[in-house]
Amino acid sequence: MSKHSCAAMVIRCIDFRIAPKNLSELLSEAGMCHDGDYDLVSVAGSGKDLLSENTTERDFILKQINISKKLHDIKTIYILMHDNCGAYAIPDAVEEHNIQVKDLKQVEQYLNSVLTDVEIKGFIVKGVPTGILSLESVY
Ligand SMILES: [Zn+2]
């Protein structure tokens, strides 16, 4: 019987500068999840829409999470923000970082309030403007 579950879901920004192959390597190197062992959601600004006043935007991501939980029994959700993100459009890198950290913490709180049996982990992909990518753990 073929395996019909995976370890995690990754929610990332659509940004082409984070190439799927590079992201996969980063996640693998960090010991987070191996290639092919996660469901992937790409949405502009990553988890940003989970904090939207617009429930349609929020529900879109929640629906993907719930399907992933139900069908693939995921145990962890990785929310990956990134620097120089067009969905944030904040020119100052320090300010962008601070706002993304704050948002990631709010996303964690929100998801923990609506989901059970799943761990939320927040990261920022750094180095997107230079192409030398690294992962910063926020929680
Ligand atoms: Zn982005």
Stretch 105-126: mean pLDDT: 97
Number of folded domains in the chain? 1
| 2 in a structural domain | no
| 1 in a structural domain | no
pLDDT band at 34 (very low <50, low <70, confident <90, very high): confident
Please report, rounded to a whole number, the percentage of residues in the chain having pLDDT higher than 90.
Answer: 90
Run of H or E including 18: none
Residue 3 CA, ligand 1 centroid: distance in Å = 32
Alpha-carbon gap, residue 85 to 46, rounded angstroms: 10
| 3 in a structural domain | no
pLDDT band at 1 (very low <50, low <70, confident <90, very high): very low
Residue 28 CA, ligand 1 centroid: distance in Å = 21
Which CATH number covers residue 85? 3.40.1050.10
| 59 in a structural domain | yes
Stretch 124-135: mean pLDDT: 96
| 27 in a structural domain | yes
| 127 in a structural domain | yes
Reported as a single tens digit per residue, the pLDDT across 43-67 is 999 999 999 999 999 999 999 999 9
| 14 in a structural domain | yes
Q: Is the pLDDT of residue 105 over 60?
A: yes
Return the structure tokens found at 61. Answer: 């991501």
pLDDT band at 120 (very low <50, low <70, confident <90, very high): very high
Residue 99 CA, ligand 1 centroid: distance in Å = 13
The parent domain of residue 28 ranges over 8-137
- The pLDDT value recorded for residue 3 is 67
Residue 18 CA, ligand 1 centroid: distance in Å = 9
Closest CA to 88 of 124, 136, 35, 37: 124
| 20 in a structural domain | yes
Output helix, strand, coil percentages for the chain, rounded to the nearest 5. Answer: 40, 20, 40
Reported as a single tens digit per residue, the pLDDT across 16-25 is 999 999 999 9
